[in-house]
């Protein structure tokens, strides 16, 4: 098991390749993992996250993805597995599956129903019940400011970061001022927690404020640029950081800043197909592929930032 406070650096939030009928493309997934782990500076993966369409996967599929990740990368990188369940008891089962299949840590996503209503006690109970079935580290997930009550209030966040097995948080507020406020709160109460920036459009400003790293889906497309930005900021090399940011920002806007925002994963897959890193860009229903007009826009962005 990992020792405490080892969560640093850049993790790729991976996608899940699909066949046309919606089945997981296991060969494509193996290739996806194999390709990304070999980039210098990538320390691990966040699998079964939102970019992996975790809300559309069943329990057996999620476990199988962990198995493939473990079989593919072995001890080359750290595997953080997302747990996204409405029911706490179901989340316990998914946690047991993930850890027995080889995950090093879990990330507990706030259930989507929490967008409408949430109490601090509910959030604490959910995380406490999950922590009962494992001694492995837990990542929290701070949702975006536009996600309703899924975005934890300072009061809720204060309680969650004091749970014994919580060691890190993916801070996805998607607003620089909120990121800084949450980071300051966390470091004041529990300075040992790794605060990982997640707002792809705001990575440079978040890294400059302070970050132990990132778990980011944009690294599926431009891992070298994400790693380079992180390294440049840590080395106080502002000129290099700006160069990396000039590549990252237009792509981040095209993927995450274009409506509907829920098509981010679809756009990532389209980019990977355009680049020849993915055989097809299928997503699971009710999602659907992009039209040719938007694919052309993504292709143009990739050319503009000199990736394609």
Q: Which tens digits make up the pLDDT trace of 55-101?
A: 999 999 999 999 999 999 999 999 999 999 999 999 999 999 999 99
Q: Is the pLDDT of residue 144 over 70?
A: yes
| pLDDT for the residue 134 | 86
**Out of 56-60, 90-94, 158-162, 304-308, least confident range:** 304-308
- Classify burial at 124, counting beta carbons within 10 Å of its beta carbon; exposed 0-12, middle 13-18, buried 19 or more: middle
Residue 190, pLDDT above cutoff 80: yes
Is the per-residue pLDDT at 205 higher than 70? yes
Task: Tell me which H or E stretch contains 68.
Answer: helix 59-73
Q: Is the pLDDT of residue 236 over 80?
A: yes
> pLDDT tens digit string along 15-60?
999 999 999 999 999 999 999 999 999 999 999 999 999 999 999 9
DSSP class per residue in 78-132: EEEEEE--SSHHHHHHHHHHHHHTT-SEEEEPPPGGGGT---HHHHHHHHHHHHT
Q: Whole-model pTM above 0.75?
A: yes
Is the pLDDT assigned to residue 238 strictly greater than 90?
Answer: yes
Predicted local distance difference test score (pLDDT) of residue 3 = 46
pLDDT above 70 coverage of the chain, percent? 98
Q: Does the structure show a pLDDT above 60 at 222?
A: yes
Residue 6 has pLDDT above 90, yes or no: no
- Give me the pLDDT at residue 4, please: 44
Average pLDDT, rounded, for the chain: 95
Dmax over CA atoms of the chain, in Å, equals 49
Q: Which domains does the chain have, with CATH numbers?
A: 9-225 (3.20.20.70)
């Amino acid at each position: 098991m990992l020792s405490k406070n080892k969560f640093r650096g850049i993790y790729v939030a991976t996608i899940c390749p699909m066949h046309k009928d919606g089945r997981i493309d296991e060969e494509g997934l193996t290739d996806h993992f194999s390709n990304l782990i070999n980039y210098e500076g990538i320390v691990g993966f966040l699998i079964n996250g939102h970019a992996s369409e975790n809300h559309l996967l069943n329990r057996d599929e999620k476990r199988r993805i962990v198995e493939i990740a473990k079989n593919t990368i072995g001890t080359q990188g750290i595997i953080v597995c997302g747990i996204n369940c409405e029911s706490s008891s179901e989340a316990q089962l998914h946690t047991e599956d993930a850890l027995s299949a080889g995950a090093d840590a879990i990330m507990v996503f706030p259930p989507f129903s929490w967008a409408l209503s949430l109490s601090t006690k509910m959030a604490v109970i959910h995380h406490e019940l999950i922590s009962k079935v494992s001694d492995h580290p837990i990542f929290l997930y701070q949702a975006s400011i536009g996600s309703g009550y899924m975005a934890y209030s300072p009061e809720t966040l204060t309680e969650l970061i004091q749970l014994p097995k919580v060691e890190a948080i993916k801070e996805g507020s998607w607003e620089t001022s909120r990121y800084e406020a949450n980071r300051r709160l966390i470091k004041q109460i529990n300075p040992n927690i790794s605060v990982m920036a997640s707002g792809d459009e705001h990575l440079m400003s978040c890294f400059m404020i302070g970050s132990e790293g990132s778990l980011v889906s944009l690294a599926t497309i431009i891992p070298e640029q994400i790693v380079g930005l992180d390294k440049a900021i840590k080395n106080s090399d502002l000129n290099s950081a700006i160069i990396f940011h000039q590549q990252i920002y237009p792509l981040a806007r095209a993927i995450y800043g274009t409506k509907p925002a829920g098509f981010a994963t679809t756009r990532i897959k389209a980019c990977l197909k355009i680049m020849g890193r993915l055989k097809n860009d299928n997503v699971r229903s009710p999602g659907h592929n992009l039209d040719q007009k938007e694919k052309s826009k993504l292709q143009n962005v990739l050319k503009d930032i000199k990736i394609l």
